[in-house]
Amino acid sequence: MINRSLGLFEEGNTSEALIWLFLKLGQAYTQIKAWDDAIASLEKGLSIAESIEDERIGNELKAIAKQAMGKVYLEKYESLPERNDELVRKALFCTDAAFHLQKSKGVTLALFLDLAQEYYLLGDSEKAHALLKRYLDESVRLGASYCLREGCNHGEMSCL
């Protein structure tokens, strides 16, 4: 049913709209803990982002997809009863790629936190602490008007 709906949606829609559809689908699969489907949806969005000719837009969308994939790997890791460092390494690979893709436009604060968590889980507390310091320094620099919620910049406590 979903594949049929996606096929109908793909006809006549822009690449950007399709990418956002796959990102939202990845989030939905993550919420129901369908990890493989979440990753597959995000990879589909990522492959479409690779074809975007405008490098700035393509890189931004690739970074968003990579960051979302990193979060899926971490959530899967946290759902397992036993430690699985391979999932954390996959998360770190994705988040690091997102970090480098967004470096030119300004890295989001959430990426500092994601990277810090991943390095901490892999046992590199020194690097984790350095990233947390960068997160705090940047938070202070941005001031109270910055919010971690995507697209929000009004700084209300309810957003944090």
What is the dihedral angle through the alpha carbons of 71, 76, 78, 79, rounded to the nearest 10 degrees? 140
In this structure, are residues 18 and 48 in contact, taking their beta carbons and an 8 Å threshold?
yes
- Please report, for the domain that includes residue 69, its CATH number: 1.25.40.10
- Reduced to 3 states (helix: H, G, I; strand: E, B; else coil), residue 106 is coil
pLDDT in tens, 133-154: 998 888 887 775 555 555 554 4
Look at residue 157 and tell me whether its pLDDT is greater than 60.
Answer: no
Q: Identify which of 46, 35, 41, 40 has the alpha carbon closest to the alpha carbon of residue 71.
A: 35
23 with 102, same domain: the answer is yes
Residues 7, 18: Cα–Cα separation, whole Å: 11
Domain boundary (62, 83, 107) is at 107
pLDDT in tens, 94-119: 999 998 888 755 667 888 899 999 99
- Average pLDDT of the chain, as a whole number: 82
Contacts of 80 (CB under 8 A, 6+ apart): 87
100 with 128, same domain: the answer is no
Q: Which domain holds residue 96?
A: 1-107
Residue range 43-70: average pLDDT? 90
Looking at the structure of the chain, the number of domains it has is: 2
61 with 122, same domain: the answer is no
Report pLDDT for 15.
84
Contacts of 6 (CB under 8 A, 6+ apart): 21
Report pLDDT for 2.
52
Percent of the chain with pLDDT strictly greater than 90: 52
14 with 88, same domain: the answer is yes
pTM of the model: 0.77
Residues 121, 26: Cα–Cα separation, whole Å: 24
25 with 83, same domain: the answer is yes
31 with 57, same domain: the answer is yes
99 with 40, same domain: the answer is yes
Look at residue 155 and tell me whether its pLDDT is greater than 60.
Answer: no
For residue 67, give both structure tokens.
């960051």
For residue 38, give both structure tokens.
């979440």
122 with 155, same domain: the answer is yes
Domain boundary (62, 85, 107) is at 107
Q: What are the angstrom distances between the C-alpha of 83 and each of 77, 78, 87, 147? A: 7, 8, 9, 32
89 with 144, same domain: the answer is no
